[in-house]
Structure 1
């Protein structure tokens, strides 16, 4: 009791890992948030990269259909370009 270093201010209750003040708790919370944020960004970029070519192809087909609907290209050009886009 007297003379021992186990208490909230000495960090004894948490084994010294969290010193027991609010500033260090906020710093650890910020570090944890940054780690989670970076991991989420990495996984999100990997999943978007895997969907990239399919999305590009569908966007290209939408543009091609819009150009055909506006009359900018003929039916033959439309069919030819659509065949080119459908190739892997």
Structure 2
């Protein structure tokens, strides 16, 4: 069985990947372009992290997870009206 610390690291990486992909849906057709651009940029970062974790000589799960989270912080899901926030006026 693998070390529990390693499994926790994998779980943290998977949580970060989910965070990258699970952004609010756009509230309007007009907001779709911004949403799709942000989502695409976040998908690219998630793919880079997964590839890094699966390499023969990875940088380490913890480092990869931290790097992904730093990249996601630079790509917040803002600038468009979110579906859940349509009535509240949030998301812009």
Larger Rg: 1
- TM-score relative to the length of structure 2: 0.37
Which structure's residues are more often helix, by fraction? 1
- TM-score relative to the length of structure 1: 0.39
Relative CO higher for 1 or 2, CA cutoff 8 Å, sep ≥ 6?
A: 2
